[in-house]
Amino acid sequence: MRHSKLLLAAALALPLAALAHPPKGGKLATTADEALVELKAGNARFMAGKHESPNLTMERVKEVVAGQHPEAVILSCSDSRVPPEVIFDEGIGDLFVVRVAGNISEPATTGSIEYAAEHLGVPLIVVLGHHKCGAVKATAEATGEPEGNIGSIVKELQPAVAAARAKPGKEGLVDDAVHANAEIVAAQLLSESPVLTHLVHGGKVKIVTAVYDLESGKIEWGPAPAAAGHGEHGRQEKH
């Protein structure tokens, strides 16, 4: 197993020359703070309709054959209205995107994020929710046991809905729960992943939360999670 993991890491290893497109100043985003600045700038361009559409050429396709160096991991919902590369105005090889309904934390998604952070050296992890999330809405409206594998998603989202009900905000139950879920998932990434905890505590990785507004296209940035094991929203037992 260890041998196969090493082969996987080698196959997608980081090339000597970083491949993420540089910000306007020409400097490559190599730290979490630089990557965050780039993402915020990209979303501002998206909202203004001034897309640069970077790294979407065949030249770029050939350039990244040698390896990848994304500037950020985006754990986002699989909703078709929230394509990370588009809303952040990024291109091929710029983002390491992990998508699942409700942007939940579970072994496969967390393992993917660990790979990007540990083996690719990605410095920034963004847990990205979005307003009017169908998965969260379904969880809030659920009255019985959901059928099939959807039940596993609902169970992961129940703590966020419960938190939103306990402390109502200004955006309504579903959108309040979306914000709560982003914070819960960010905290879970730390509390459930020794790999990510080590990287965060070592200053090599930063985890932030964000929520995308479907109507305006704007990203609202939230807080970083508390230290592993001390966050307000750790994984809760689900019944």
**Mean of the per-residue pLDDT values of the chain:** 86
Distances in whole angstroms, Cα of residue 204 to Cα of each of 125, 199, 237: 11, 5, 31
SS3 assignment, position 110: helix
Q: 73: closest CA among 177, 158, 157, 199?
A: 199
The residue ranges of every structural domain in the chain are 29-221
pTM: 0.84
Element (H, E) at 72: strand 72-76
In this prediction, residue 226 carries a pLDDT of 63
Encoded amino acid at 124, one letter:
L
CATH superfamily of 29-221: Carbonic anhydrase (3.40.1050.10)
CA distance 142 to 119: 39
Q: Give pLDDT tens digits for 184-228.
A: 999 999 999 999 999 999 999 999 999 999 999 999 999 777 654
Q: Give pLDDT tens digits for 82-126.
A: 999 999 999 999 999 999 999 999 999 999 999 999 999 999 999
